[in-house]
């Protein structure tokens, strides 16, 4: 029985190494997610400035088209003005021409302001793009470093899983089956009982059970945490006394 328990203890040792490795690697996906969100926010700022610039450019094009159309209209009206026979019609058309020219003047001022705004937005966008490029380099380097660490941990885990498969072959199948069932709920699944106390849950086991474990060197189940329990000497015999 001792050899079987020793084999199971060796298997659990590998399993615990895997657990520790996976726990250590949990931080990296979170850090990578934070960096990716940071990069996404920076990109969003660039896109927001680009959208503003595109909107101003659309306004300018529309305004320029309106000015061209209004100027054409004024030219046509001015041509018609000399053809008017009626004083009333002449005055009405002249008034329309005057209104159109003032509207053109207002639109020209608006166009000038939009041009200034466009230049400012271009500078802002250029600055944001430069900042984003720097951020991409910085964050990209950190992401690559984290990905390399994750890959390193995955390689170690894969190596341990290969080792586990080999170690598991030495474990008695019924004992292995019990161990796997318990391990799904609690880790470690195999624990010792020292001075009547389960080392998995720190609860006392019945005295008769404790005595049985010490005398039989067999395994049992902890009444409190349902782990597999045994006496320490069932796995590792005490050192022989000198003398």
Strand pairing category for 197-198 and 228-230: unpaired
Contact predicate 129/46, CB 8 Å: yes
Cα angle for residues 179, 157, 24 (degrees, 5° grid)? 95
Report the percent of the chain where pLDDT is more than 70: 97
Q: How far, in Å, are 12, 161, 162, 169, 190 from residue 166 at the CA level? A: 13, 9, 7, 6, 19
Is the entire prediction scored with pTM above 0.75? no
Using pLDDT thresholds of 50, 70 and 90, give the confidence band for residue 188.
very high
- Residue 243: per-residue pLDDT: 46
> If you average pLDDT over residues 83-109, what whole number do you get?
86
> If you average pLDDT over residues 145-153, what whole number do you get?
92
Task: Answer whether residue 242 shows pLDDT above 60.
Answer: no
Task: Answer whether residue 239 shows pLDDT above 70.
Answer: no
Task: Answer whether residue 100 shows pLDDT above 90.
Answer: no
- Residue 83: per-residue pLDDT: 78
Q: In whole angstroms, what is the distance from residue 94 CA to residue 82 CA?
A: 10
Average pLDDT, the chain: 91
Q: List, in order of start, the domains of the chain with CATH numbers.
A: 25-168 (1.10.287.1490), 173-235 (no CATH)
The token duo for 91 is 């005055």
Task: Answer whether residue 238 shows pLDDT above 70.
Answer: no
Using pLDDT thresholds of 50, 70 and 90, give the confidence band for residue 145.
very high
H-helix or E-strand containing 212?
Answer: helix 207-216
Q: Which tens digit of pLDDT belongs to each residue from 172-182?
A: 999 999 999 99
Contact predicate 199/193, CB 8 Å: yes
Contact predicate 176/205, CB 8 Å: no
Radius of gyration of the chain (CA): 41
């Amino acid at each position: 029985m001792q050899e079987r328990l020793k084999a199971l203890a060796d298997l659990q040792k590998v399993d615990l190494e895997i657990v520790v490795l996976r726990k250590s690697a949990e931080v990296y996906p979170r850090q990578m997610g934070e960096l990716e969100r940071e990069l996404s926010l920076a990109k969003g700022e660039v896109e927001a400035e680009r959208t503003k610039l595109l909107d101003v450019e659309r306004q300018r094009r529309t305004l320029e088209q309106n000015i061209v159309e209004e100027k054409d209209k004024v030219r046509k009206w001015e041509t018609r003005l000399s053809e008017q026979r009626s004083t009333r019609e002449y005055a009405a058309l002249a008034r329309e021409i005057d209104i159109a020219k003032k509207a053109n003047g207002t639109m020209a001022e608006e166009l000038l302001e939009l041009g200034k705004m466009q230049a400012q937005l271009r500078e802002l966008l250029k600055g944001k793009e430069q900042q984003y490029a720097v951020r991409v380099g910085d964050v990209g380097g950190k992401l690559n470093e984290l990905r390399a660490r994750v890959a390193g941990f995955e390689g170690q885990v894969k190596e341990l899983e290969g080792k586990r498969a080999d170690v598991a072959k030495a474990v008695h199948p019924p004992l292995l089956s019990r161990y796997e069932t318990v391990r799904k709920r609690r880790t470690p699944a195999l624990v010792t009982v020292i001075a009547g106390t389960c080392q998995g849950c720190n609860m006392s086991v019945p005295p008769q059970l404790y005595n049985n474990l010490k005398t039989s060197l067999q395994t049992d189940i902890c009444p409190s945490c349902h782990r597999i329990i045994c006496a320490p000497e069932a796995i590792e015999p005490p050192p022989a006394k000198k003398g």
